[in-house]
Amino acid sequence: MEQTAYNFKEVMSKPERLAPGHRMCAGCGGTITVRTVLRALEEGDKAVIGNATGCLEVSSFMYPYTAYEDSYIHNAFENAGATLSGVETAYRVLKKRGKIKDNFKFITFGGDGGTYDIGFQSLSGAMERGHDMVYVCYDNGAYMNTGTQRSSATPQYADTTTTPAGKVSAGKVQVRKDLAAIIAEHHVPYVGQSTFTSNFKDLYTKAQKAIYTPGAAFLNVLSPCPRGWGYEPSEMMNICKMAMETCYWPLFEVVEGKWILNYEPKNKMPIEEFLKPQRRFRHLFKKENEELIGKFQEEIDRRWEELRNKCN
């Protein structure tokens, strides 16, 4: 597909494929991810949208109302990958047998719980089999639909309802799983990691590539959750920016096995800039926890170096 210069105004004026009136929270990052990704569909192209159980599903398809302008299927929590692979296979065979003529694209959304954790096997299977589909993880770093329980995407030390910071606990013990890298190791043609920046150009263009690259594609999108992270919704863009500037959430692509770093900050910011505006990290700024921020920084630095090496 030909990549044309990104025109923010033009992109934003494309018809919405996620209609307003859904019940997602004000300032929800997940919803922004969905709208941006769906906007990357060419206007004439039909699509089937899949969805793992989660905030998005229960808020956008509450019987008898759907917010989707396209055909849509929700099955369960752990099987968005397998479900859409069935839809995509049906498309190929019905096309082969001359039963349908239209062109369809296949995009499925899952939160990090449904993607990193319970849906991990189903996702891995779908990617390995190479279905012509895009799996988009809106990663808000916890099980937000059930009330901010820890997932394997939750950053270390985050205060969640199942890893509460307490007198003898500093939040989540483990570091987060690097899912984009794991999916890249499936040797699929396209993997992208993104968040909200530069007038959504990064996410929009990665979504275009993911949708229009034949074969399996995966997008991991940091999608802040104001309720789970504890910040004012108006702060979202700044938090995304700090995620990039601190190298907590690097922007990269893996195209046909080639690792590409999309953004390298001129001056890498200290991790505090990302942590500080969020209630879930508030306990790290207590005097007794000072060294934990240092440990967090070390992990960021280590992973950043690892990524840069891959991208060289």
Partner 1 sequence: MAIRERLSGNEAVAYAIKQVNPDVMPAFPITPSTEIPQYVANYIANGEIDTEFIHVESEHSAMSATIGASAAGARAITATSSCGMALMWEELYVAASNRLPIVLALVNRALSGPININADHSDSMGARDTGWIQIYAESNQEVYDNFIQAFPIAEDRRVHLPVMVCQDGFITSHGVENILLVEDDKVKGFVGEYQPEHYLLHPEEKMALGPYAVSNYYMETKRAQRQAMIQAREVILETAARFEEMTGRKYGFFEEYCMEDAEYAVVIIGSAAGTCKAAIDEIRNTTGAKVGLIKIRVFRPFPEEEIAKALSGVKAVAIMDRSEMFSATSGPLGAEVRAALYQAHSSVEAVNYFYGLGGRDITVSDFKTVYGNLETIAQTHVVTGMYEYIGLRSEQSKEV
Determine the interface stretch with partner 1 among 49-57, 190-198, 214-222, 258-266 (rule: CB under 8 A).
Answer: 49-57
Torsions phi, psi for 130 (to 5 deg): 75, 30
- CA angle, residues 290, 230, 178, in degrees to nearest 5: 70
The reply to whether 260 sits near partner 1 by the rule CB under 8 A is no
Q: C-alpha distances in angstroms, 109 versus 49, 57, 74, 221, 228? A: 8, 9, 10, 11, 19
Residue 56 neighbours by CB under 8 Å, 6+ apart:
24, 30, 31, 34, 109, 111, 138
Q: How far is the CB of 28 from partner 1 (least distance, A)?
A: 16
**Secondary structure of 62-97 in the HEC alphabet?**
ECCEECECCEEEECCCCCHHHHHHHHHHHHHHHHHC
What CA–CA distance (Å, rounded) separates 215 from 204?
19
With contacts defined by CB under 8 A, name the span among 1-9, 45-53, 152-160, 181-189 that binds partner 1.
45-53
Per CB under 8 A, the list member of 4, 43, 97, 288 interacting with partner 1 is: 97
Per-residue binding letters, 115-154, with partner 1 (x by CB under 8 A): ------xx-xx--xx-------------------------
Pick the binder of partner 1 from 11, 12, 25, 100 (CB under 8 A): 100
Check residue 274 and report its DSSP letter.
H
Span 57-96, contacts to partner 1 by CB under 8 A: 57-58, 61-64, 66, 68-76, 78-79, 81-94, 96
Q: Provide, rounded to whole angstroms, the least separation between the CB of residue 22 and partner 1.
A: 11
> Which chain residues interact with partner 1 by CB under 8 A?
48, 50-51, 57-58, 61-64, 66, 68-76, 78-79, 81-94, 96-97, 99-102, 104, 121-122, 124-125, 128-129
